[in-house]
């Protein structure tokens, strides 16, 4: 799965995977958050060596169904709170449909002390390597989270010295729900967001995402994502929806 096709836009790891954050209207570089009410849920750093496995179902613009899966392992939590995670495919690579390779990349991802992604290094299925950074970071609302909280956030993603792409996200913390997945039953915060961007080929994207976060770990339990595209459409296939579900934890 190529990074610019993922959510928040975001990668299914910690809070950073709310579906893809940065500068606001006052130029401070922080998200605009409107507080909610009721129980407040704080971000808790993950445990080193803990891991999660996800299954992903992708539907493309020709109504093909592509099955993917990947693991996420916490490899380090530094004294300053920086989190490092490793993402790897759990199925054979080379999952190409209509000219697009949907294989999950091998990535080393870094997050700040409240779970926002700051960058990643990746290896493509063909062996090519690269790095990307988020300015100032990617991720969603600032914890602690409460039902009724809303956020507005913008960020830039730049890869391998190329000009960056600007993303804009708006979202709300909708509710607390019981969610059942193969990994178990969780009490989860339900977040809904829309993220828009224009890629380097002139294709416009609007991503609409619902993400259920476990209130204890802030890990994603389930995500439902749809994409609307306009402008210069790709000549190859492209995703129009993704369903991502937590299979197991250890």
Domains and CATH numbers, the chain: 3-249 (2.40.360)
Cβ neighbours of residue 138 closer than 8 Å, sequence gap 6 or more = 8, 9, 10, 16, 20, 21, 22, 116, 117, 118, 155, 157, 167
Section 140-156 average pLDDT: 91
12/211 Cα distance (integer angstroms) = 10
Q: How big is the chain, counted in residues?
A: 250
Section 75-84 average pLDDT: 97
75/250 Cα distance (integer angstroms) = 13
For 3, the 3-state DSSP assignment is helix
Section 164-186 average pLDDT: 97
Ramachandran angles phi, psi of 105, nearest 5°: -75, 150
Tokens of residue 243, six digits: 């369903």
pLDDT digits (tens, 9 = 90+) for 129-138: 999 999 988 8
The rounded mean pLDDT for the chain is 87
143/158 Cα distance (integer angstroms) = 25
Section 227-232 average pLDDT: 96
174/169 Cα distance (integer angstroms) = 16
**pLDDT exceeds 60 at position 2:** no
Between 93 and 69, name the one with better pLDDT.
69
CA distances (Å), origin 48, targets 139, 188, 242: 21, 22, 28
**DSSP structure class, residue 41:** B
**DSSP structure class, residue 46:** P
Which of the four pLDDT bands, split at 50, 70 and 90, describes residue 100? very high
pLDDT of residue 92: 78
Q: How many helices (H) and strands (E) does the chain have?
A: 0, 15
10-24, 42-56, 191-205: least confidently modelled range: 10-24
Section 45-74 average pLDDT: 97
Tokens of residue 228, six digits: 């609307």
Residues linked to residue 89 through DSSP beta bridges, in sequence order: 70
Which of the four pLDDT bands, split at 50, 70 and 90, describes residue 126? confident
pLDDT of residue 30: 53
**pLDDT exceeds 90 at position 191:** yes
């Amino acid at each position: 799965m190529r990074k610019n096709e993922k959510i928040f836009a975001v990668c299914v790891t910690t809070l950073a995977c709310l579906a893809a954050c940065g500068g606001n209207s006052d130029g401070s570089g922080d998200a605009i958050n409107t507080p909610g009410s009721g129980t407040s849920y704080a971000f808790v750093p993950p445990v080193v060596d803990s891991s999660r496995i996800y299954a992903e179902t992708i539907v493309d613009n020709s109504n093909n169904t592509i099955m993917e899966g990947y693991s996420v392992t916490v490899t380090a939590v530094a004294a300053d709170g920086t989190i490092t995670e490793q993402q790897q495919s759990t199925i054979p690579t080379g999952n190409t449909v209509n000219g697009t390779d949907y294989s999950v990349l091998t990535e080393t991802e870094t997050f700040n002390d409240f779970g926002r992604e700051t960058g990643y290094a990746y290896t493509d299925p063909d062996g090519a390597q690269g790095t990307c950074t988020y300015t100032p970071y990617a991720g969603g609302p600032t914890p602690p989270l409460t039902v009724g909280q809303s956020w507005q956030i913008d960020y830039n993603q730049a890869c391998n010295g190329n000009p960056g792409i600007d993303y804009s996200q708006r979202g709300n913390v909708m509710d607390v729900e019981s969610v059942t997945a193969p990994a178990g039953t969780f009490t989860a915060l339900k977040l809904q967001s829309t993220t828009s961007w224009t890629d380097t080929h002139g294709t416009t994207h609007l991503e609409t995402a619902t993400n259920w976060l476990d209130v204890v770990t802030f890990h994603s339990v389930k995500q439902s994502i749809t994409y609307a595209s306009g402008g210069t459409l790709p000549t190859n296939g492209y995703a129009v929806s993704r369903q991502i579900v937590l299979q197991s934890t250890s």
